[in-house]
Structure 1
Amino acid sequence: MRRTTKPKSKDVFGGLTVRATEAIVADPRQAAGDFVWYRTGWEEIQYRRDGITIDWSDFTGSGRVVPRVPGG
């Protein structure tokens, strides 16, 4: 994967990313399969030690959500 700064390339990549995300969200089986990997509580994170966690960070006062993959 290469980083691009060309506006047309960025638009194409952005459009493809949105289409792929819409397809994943529209498929109930895919969405359910993805959901089982989210870890939302500290106890579950410690017990399973896998999946994706959601860290709340408020560096700007905007209340951003930052997903993180353990070990990453």
Structure 2
Amino acid sequence: MKASWFWAGNALLMESDELIVRMRERINWLEQRADEEAHLREDEIRRREEESRRREDAERRVAELQAELERVRAAQK
């Protein structure tokens, strides 16, 4: 493969092979970042779902205890 040159004015920026290598490295880095961010989002979603389940369980338990308290109070009358 014949190397190409990239220039900015009179300054040589890099050869095409070097540019390709750098672009591949950058793509790999971006893919890793995207994967990491996706995992973080998934973890956050799971955490929020678990918090929601716990809150619903606690609210259900409070309602059960309130109903039981009302039954006990009614039985004492």
Task: Please report the TM-score for the alignment, with normalisation by the length of structure 2.
Answer: 0.32
Greater strand share, 1 or 2? 1
Question: Which has the larger share of helix?
Answer: 2
- For the pair shown, the structure with the greater C-alpha radius of gyration is 2
Q: TM-score, structure 1 length as denominator?
A: 0.34
Between 1 and 2, higher relative CO (CA 8 Å, sep ≥ 6) is seen in 1
